Amino acid sequence: MEEDQDGNEIHNCVIKLREKPNQRRKKVYIGCGAGFGGDRPIAALKLLQRVKELNYIVLECLAERTLAERYQIMISGGDGYDSRITDWLRLLLPLAVERGTCIITNMGAMDPVGAQEKVVEIASSLGLSVSVAVAHEVSSAKLGSGSSTKKSYIMEGGISTYLGAAPIVECLEKYQPDVVITSRVADAALFLAPMVYELGWNWDDLEQLAQGSLAGHLLECGCQLTGGYFMHPGDKYRDISFPSLLDLSLPYAEMSFDGSLCVAKADGSGGVLNFSTCAQQLLYEVGDPGAYVTPDVVIDFRNVSFHSLSAHKVLCAGAKPSLSSAPDELLRLIPKECGWKGWGEISYGGYECVKRAKAAEYLVRSWMEEEFPGVSCNLASYIIGLDSLRTTSIHDNNISCGASEEIRLRMDGLFELKEHAVQFKTEFTALYTNGPAGGGGIRSISSEFILIVFKIRSSSLKEVFQ
């Protein structure tokens, strides 16, 4: 262990066994308050209100897409952390502090220390005194340079690494905080960490780590486990009434020391929690179900079973460590500038609306060619309501146009130069007075395109807890 110039503990990325870990509880209750960056804070508050047993609530609000967006905002002078943290914490902190429920979130994104400062500010404005811990990575090269400049902890080039549960466990052990803020941590690890801490597990308790990671994987997408993104009218197994869909409960897990796991939703809530919703979420974003890789354990999901105990609770069993039980390396996420994008949409309705959309597409392509010959090959076009969900082309004459009463033309372009993207936005907007009749609802945008590239993590990176 080292310390930086501010006295924060620095650990390398090698996970060492915990020394005589204490079992603080026989069972821990962990809720999912958010499954993605656009989730609903009021739903998290309702879970806190309805499930008084919750020891932890996890706000999982970071993904590759949102990480890239946050990097763009940060290099333009904005916040490197999720600015919605103000909305979330202002709503949740009072009840969470009253109940003793710890909030864990990856909303720190590119600037978790900045997020820490913001949460302390929010708590102070609410008259609350809270402890806010941070787990993130730093470059050992920066440590060696003696740099003390403001925000020198931010990784150069916006690089992030999928960290595991260990740095969060360290925070919980050292500070017993009210809030833990992280940089990029694997989704399941956000939920696994409090299990390891509360139940006294160690890093070689692979059976329990597999079950804990199963719990995290099931919870990480929020209401997808309890009926969200599941309802389908006309399917007797998936038809949910509108009022029931409105009353979805975010899920939570009950995890015991021996790895016994139940996932649940609030009693009396709407939605549905059963074998089908659990199986759907189990397979979500899983490549090889026999070797699902997380930073903490590689899991074999092939013998997982679900047994409904009630309309609100499901017993989950069977997650095992894979033959290669731990990953040798971690993934790094590297933002890469890949040019500029522009897109535009316009709606047409009524008689021959499809032909009018095709005429509009022809015009925009032609106008772009007039300004920048050859650049129109960078444009893709499709008609929402006709061919946007099919593997066809806007120019496929075999597509039936007769039934379309209203459609929306969408054009996307990826360009090497900013001026090309800006020109596309200008030309698309010109359809208002220069295009076919009856067009409306134009939207056109140009912006820099940042791609997230996956690479193996370098050993020169370390984890920091403060």
The per-residue pLDDT for range 299-312, each reduced to its tens digit, is 999 999 999 999 99
Count the alpha carbons within 13 Å of 214 in the hemisphere toward its beta carbon: 35
**Among 45-49, 73-77, 251-255, 390-394, whose mean pLDDT is lowest?**
390-394
| Separation of alpha carbons 196 and 199, rounded Å | 6
| Separation of alpha carbons 301 and 279, rounded Å | 11
Closest by CA position to 188, among listed 88, 343, 265, 301: 301
Give how far Cα 205 sits from Cα of 201, 216, 254, 276, Å: 6, 16, 18, 29
| Separation of alpha carbons 62 and 162, rounded Å | 11
Name the one residue in this structure whose structure tokens are 């309890």. 226
| Separation of alpha carbons 250 and 44, rounded Å | 7
Following CA atoms 188, 16, 168, 155 in sequence, which dihedral angle do they give, to the nearest 10 degrees?
-90
Do the strands 331-349 and 320-321 form a parallel or antiparallel pair, or are they unpaired? unpaired
Do the strands 313-317 and 305-310 form a parallel or antiparallel pair, or are they unpaired? antiparallel
Phi then psi for residue 384, to 5 deg, are -70, 125
Alpha helices in 39-156 (DSSP H): 41-50, 64-75, 85-99, 112-125, 140-145
pLDDT confidence of 14, banded at 50, 70, 90? low
403 has pLDDT over 70: no
- Does an H or E element contain 16, and which? none
Contact status, residue 381 vs residue 361, Cβ threshold 8 Å: yes
pLDDT confidence of 148, banded at 50, 70, 90? very low
Closest by CA position to 220, among listed 80, 99, 105: 105
pLDDT confidence of 134, banded at 50, 70, 90? very high
Phi then psi for residue 330, to 5 deg, are -110, 155
10 has pLDDT over 70: no
Beta bridge partners of 310: 313
| Between residues 184 and 399, the one the model is more confident about | 184
Please compute the mean of the pLDDT values over residues 113-131 and round it to a whole number: 96
Closest by CA position to 363, among listed 442, 437, 427: 427
Give the pLDDT score at 394: 57
327 has pLDDT over 90: no
- Note the residue count of the chain: 466
Task: Categorise residue 151: left if φ over 0, alpha if ψ from -120 to 50, beta otherwise.
Answer: left
Helix (H, G, I), strand (E, B) or coil at 412: strand
458 has pLDDT over 60: no
Give the pLDDT score at 153: 56
Name the DSSP letter for residue 351. T
Please compute the mean of the pLDDT values over residues 378-382 and round it to a whole number: 94
User: Both ends of the chain: CA-CA distance in Å?
Assistant: 13
Rounded to the nearest 10 degrees, the angle between the axes of helix 85-99 and helix 41-50 is 10
| Between residues 147 and 171, the one the model is more confident about | 171
Give the pLDDT score at 217: 97
| Between residues 66 and 195, the one the model is more confident about | 195
**Among 157-166, 213-222, 275-284, 407-416, whose mean pLDDT is lowest?**
157-166
Q: Number of helices (H) and strands (E), helices first, in the chain?
A: 13, 20
Rg of the chain's alpha carbons, rounded to an integer? 25
Give the pLDDT score at 460: 40
Contact status, residue 159 vs residue 112, Cβ threshold 8 Å: no
145 has pLDDT over 70: no
150 has pLDDT over 50: yes
| Between residues 451 and 230, the one the model is more confident about | 230
Name the DSSP letter for residue 255. E
Name the one residue in this structure whose structure tokens are 């739903």. 43
pLDDT confidence of 194, banded at 50, 70, 90? very high
Beta bridge partners of 199: none
146 has pLDDT over 90: no
9 has pLDDT over 70: no
445 has pLDDT over 60: yes
Closest by CA position to 155, among listed 119, 191, 163: 163
Structure-token pair, residue 339: 């040019």
457 has pLDDT over 60: no
pLDDT confidence of 64, banded at 50, 70, 90? confident
Helix (H, G, I), strand (E, B) or coil at 89: helix
| Between residues 390 and 315, the one the model is more confident about | 315
Give how far Cα 58 sits from Cα of 44, 104, 181, Å: 9, 5, 10
Give the pLDDT score at 338: 86
Average pLDDT, the chain: 88
Task: Categorise residue 128: left if φ over 0, alpha if ψ from -120 to 50, beta otherwise.
Answer: beta
pTM score, whole prediction: 0.87
Following CA atoms 42, 256, 319, 245 in sequence, which dihedral angle do they give, to the nearest 10 degrees?
-20
Count the alpha carbons within 13 Å of 249 in the hemisphere toward its beta carbon: 22
Contact status, residue 34 vs residue 222, Cβ threshold 8 Å: yes
Give the pLDDT score at 307: 98
pLDDT confidence of 75, banded at 50, 70, 90? confident
pLDDT confidence of 69, banded at 50, 70, 90? confident
pLDDT confidence of 373, banded at 50, 70, 90? very high
Structure-token pair, residue 45: 């508050």
- Does an H or E element contain 387, and which? none
**How large a percentage of the chain has pLDDT more than 70?**
86
| Separation of alpha carbons 224 and 189, rounded Å | 18
Please compute the mean of the pLDDT values over residues 115-142 and round it to a whole number: 88
